[in-house]
Amino acid sequence: MAYKIAIIVGSLRKDSINRKVARSMCAIRGDNLDCSMVEIGDLPLYNQDLDGSPPEQWVRFRKEVAAADGVLFVSPEYNRGIPGVLKNAIDVGSRPYGQSVFDKKPAAIITASPGSIGGFGANHQIRQVGVFLNMPMMQQPEAYLGHVSEDSFDESGCLKDGPLKELIEKLAHAFHDWVDMIHRSRQLLAEDAAHSSQQAARAKEHA
């Protein structure tokens, strides 16, 4: 079964290495992940005053995330934290209160940087926010991609063969299995609950 994955990239830069990593993820075949990028560059800054009459860009973003079976965050680290543009998108998707489009969506995180620690700080800040937003976060493999440069990509903008690409392929397989496990478990629980309530209704009829 193919799962729809919304990829949210935390960089607006035209030649973003994180966008290229996201593109590499989309290019992986055979994982039953139907990936599409959800753009965040046009989202007005979140302002609670606008909850009653949201800007059309917020509505578009929320719809696209809501339609997905899972969310993949691919982001740089800015000053050891989450880039503001990504945090804004997460805040937009999380509101109005009680209507978060992230609620219960299985998720995974990739951070990429030319630096050696691969965006570890941003990765864990995204994880912290995702946990609060009730997103089951995949734990392994972790993806702190360090020493990523223009040279890591081929002319089509995807990762060249090598350890980085292998890690992304591993992550794609693991993320498919993670999303599959979460959705199947929920379906089984829902079927169990329906079965139990049917049995309870029958028992009542015959009482």
Select 24 or 113, whichever has its Cβ closest to ligand FMN. 113
Position 157 contacts ligand FMN (CB under 6 A):
no
Calpha distance 174→33 (Å, rounded): 11
Stretch that binds ligand FMN, among 13-21, 87-95, 160-168, 171-179 (CB under 6 A): 13-21
CB of 81 to ligand FMN, least distance (A): 7
Q: Which of 3, 7, 18, 168 binds ligand FMN (CB under 6 A)?
A: 18
Q: Which two tokens stand for residue 24?
A: 């590499």
In sequence order, the 6+-apart residues with CB closer than 8 A to the CB of 173 are 31
Helix or strand run (H / E) with residue 158:
none
Chain positions 114 to 133 lying near ligand FMN, rule: CB under 6 A, are 114-115, 119
* Of residues 100 and 113, the one with the C-beta less far from ligand FMN: 113
**Residues pairing with 108 in the sheet:** 72
Residue 104 near residue 98 (C-beta atoms within 8 A)? no
Q: Which residues lie below 8 Å from residue 37, measured CB to CB, with a gap of 6+?
A: 7, 8, 9, 19, 22, 26
- Which range binds ligand FMN by CB under 6 A, 78-86, 92-100, 129-137, 176-184? 78-86
Binding mask 37-76 for ligand FMN (x = CB under 6 A): ---------------------------------------x
CB atoms closer than 10 angstroms to residue 84? 12
DSSP tag of 60? H
Selected binder of ligand FMN within 24, 94, 100, 113 (CB under 6 A): 113
Mapped onto helix, strand or coil, the DSSP state of residue 79 is: coil
Is position 11 an interface residue for ligand FMN (rule: CB under 6 A)?
Answer: yes
Binding-site ranges for ligand FMN (CB under 6 A): 11, 13, 16-18, 76-80, 113-115, 119
